[in-house]
Amino acid sequence: MKILMTGSTGFVGTAMCQDLLRTGHTVCRLVRPGTAAEKSRGADGFDVNWNPTTGELGGAAVGADAVVNLAGASIAQGRWTTERKKLLLSSRVGTTRALVHALSKMAARPRVLVSASGIGYYGNCGDQVLTEESSLGQDFLSRLGQEWEAEAAKAEAFGIRVVRARFGVILAKHGGALPVMARPFLWGVGGRIGSGEQWMSWVTLQDVVGIVRFALENGAARGPLNVVSPQPVRNAEFTKVLAKILRRPALFPAPAFALRLLLGEMADELLLSSQRVLPAQLEKLGYRFLHPDLDAALTNVLS
């Protein structure tokens, strides 16, 4: 397939590009005019100029079979000031709107769009088991997810199959949340976050890549798709397993009040929020997880 991709230099995008190229696909990295994508360059891929403000796409995008939309500023980089929230919204909602507009103007449109989202869509739900049919939450990440997905879903009006991939906590050795979570343990001061009772819905980067490719190739995949392991765990269990694999103690909990002082609203929505999410649609479609079990997953990732 010829695949257009936004966010190709990011954490997931870099891994996704490498996998798609390795499996024989052609990747067209959508880049803004005047920018370079050296980090993601590969012998079998190439860059396509596009302007997210106007939606204008370079001619090299013609003939694309699929689109992977991973664009978005980092959720965890810095406090959520008013300006930061505007950037988080515009880099996702605005970019997706421009992308769908560009696709609508193509004479021969791609067959499928896999667009990123997150399980923050559901909000803080305690012990409630969440599937793709669960309702929308009420906090900032919920509103962000709703607006983000709504823009992607507009592509369905142009005959494009749309998959809204709701990513959980992605585990990888050299990127994402895991290196940050592991650092206190390596210093000997790790422990649970807050009460430790909140549920964590996680997935390895290898499975994320496999699931996105599965969604591109499987015509039955459409609508929301929870990209999480089938075995969510409480934060206390996660930290216990992480400490065991790192051979470090887990004796120093991070108090909720201290996290709120340090990070503000972000602490409640990213670290203290509880989301017990299951990949109901993936299991229905028959996806086979590479790493369904946390112990084995962390052992593989950190080896």
3-class secondary structure per residue, 208-252: HHHHHHHHHHCCCCCEEEEECCCCCEEHHHHHHHHHHHHCCCCCC
Say which CATH number the domain at 153 has. 3.40.50.720
Give a yes or no: residue 234 inside a domain. no
Mean pLDDT of the residues in the chain: 92
Give a yes or no: residue 39 inside a domain. yes
The whole-number average pLDDT for the span 216-229 is: 97
Domain that holds residue 81: 2-173+201-228+277-289
Q: pLDDT per residue over 113-130, tens digit each?
A: 999 999 999 999 999 999
CA 224/CA 115 separation, integer angstroms: 10
Q: What pLDDT does residue 46 have?
A: 82
Give a yes or no: residue 179 inside a domain. no
Give a yes or no: residue 266 inside a domain. no
CA 171/CA 169 separation, integer angstroms: 6
Give a yes or no: residue 303 inside a domain. no
Q: Report the number of distinct structural domains present in the chain.
A: 1
pLDDT of 111 strictly over 50: yes
Residue 250 confidence class, pLDDT cut points 50, 70, 90: confident
Give a yes or no: residue 110 inside a domain. yes
Give a yes or no: residue 190 inside a domain. no
Give a yes or no: residue 37 inside a domain. yes
